[in-house]
Each structure stands twice: as structure tokens, then as C-alpha cells.
């Protein structure tokens, strides 16, 4: 099974890829290979972190408006990956591509909260076979 590996703050987290619901978006993400980007808090959406990707894919695939904590989305309008770690007010439809694994949620939520005060750290993203 393929998973999305996300590393930041010297921690590693995994998300279950929703390959059946968003196959084209995930294929494009995987084709980018591993990449690093700057991690920031999405201040207009509150409990959300995001980082830019080296890919561009515009069509909505598996569009979701209301987000739940642990959702990993690709936001085509900004060419970025966003992950929600608490209640948030959505601003647009996005491609739901993965969900943080339940066992990783507590640690992910804790680390994501630190991004608000430490903007611009590196995040490593990679599709892996687990």
C-alpha cells in the first residue's frame, strides 16, 4: 500500500493515500518524486499547515469543501498541499488525496501547532510503499 510520508520538525508522519478517489492527482504527486518545501501556517484558515508542490494539476478530483482534522488535500488554485489539524472554516473545494494515519494524528497535531510561531521550516514529502 502506498502512503504519503511527511517529515518536519525532525518527525515523520504517514497518511493513507486515497488512490481510488484521486488517482490522477496522486500520480502527478508521485511523479514529482521526493521534494522539500517551506512549511507555513495557513493563517486565514486557522488550523491548517501548507506547503507548495513542484506540480501543477488543475482539475478537481475527489472535491471536498468541509475538512476534518487529518485530511490531506491538494489545493490546485495555490499548487500546494494542505493538512488540517483542528476545526477550520474552509474557503474552497480541494482535492482530498490522503488522511493522516490514526496512530500519527496526536503527534501530527502537536507538531502542526508549532508551525504558527515557526514559519518557514522545511517539510519533506514523498510517496512511499509501505
Backbone angles phi, psi at 84, to 5 degrees: -100, 135
Enumerate the β-bridge partners of residue 13.
Answer: 6
Beta-ladder partners of 36: 124
Indicate whether 57 pLDDT > 80: no
pLDDT at residue 55, rounded to an integer: 87
Segment 64-84 shows an average pLDDT of 94
Q: What pLDDT shows up at residue 90?
A: 83
Q: Which three cell numbers stand for residue 119?
A: 514559519
Q: Rounded to two decimals, what is the model's pTM?
A: 0.95
The domains of the chain are located at: 2-129
Instruction: State in words which class domain 2-129 has.
Output: mainly beta
Buried b (16+ CB within 10 A) or exposed e, 47-74: bbbbbbbebebeeebbebeebebbbbbb
Q: Residue 130 pLDDT more than 90?
A: no
pLDDT of 91: 85
Side-chain half-sphere CA neighbours of 33 within 13 A: 0
Give residue 45's pLDDT.
Answer: 75
Tell me the C-alpha to C-alpha distance, in Å, between residue 94 and each of 11, 59, 79, 104: 26, 10, 11, 23
In contact, 75 and 93? CB cutoff 8 Å: no
Backbone phi, then psi, for 64, in 5-degree steps?
-135, 135
Amino acid at each position: 500500500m502506498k502512503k504519503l510520508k511527511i517529515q518536519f520538525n525532525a518527525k515523520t508522519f504517514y497518511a493513507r493515500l486515497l488512490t481510488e478517489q484521486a488517482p490522477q492527482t496522486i500520480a502527478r504527486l508521485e511523479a514529482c518524486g521526493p521534494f522539500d518545501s517551506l512549511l507555513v501556517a495557513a493563517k486565514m484558515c486557522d488550523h491548517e499547515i501548507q506547503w507548495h508542490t513542484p506540480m501543477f494539476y488543475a482539475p478537481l478530483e475527489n472535491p471536498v469543501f468541509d475538512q476534518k482534522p487529518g485530511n490531506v488535500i491538494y489545493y490546485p488554485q495555490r499548487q500546494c498541499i494542505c493538512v488540517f489539524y483542528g476545526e477550520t472554516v474552509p474557503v474552497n473545494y480541494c482535492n482530498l488525496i490522503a488522511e493522516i494515519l490514526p496512530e500519527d494524528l496526536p503527534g501530527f497535531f502537536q507538531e502542526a501547532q508549532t508551525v504558527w510561531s515557526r514559519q518557514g521550516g522545511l517539510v519533506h514529502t514523498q510517496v512511499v510503499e509501505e
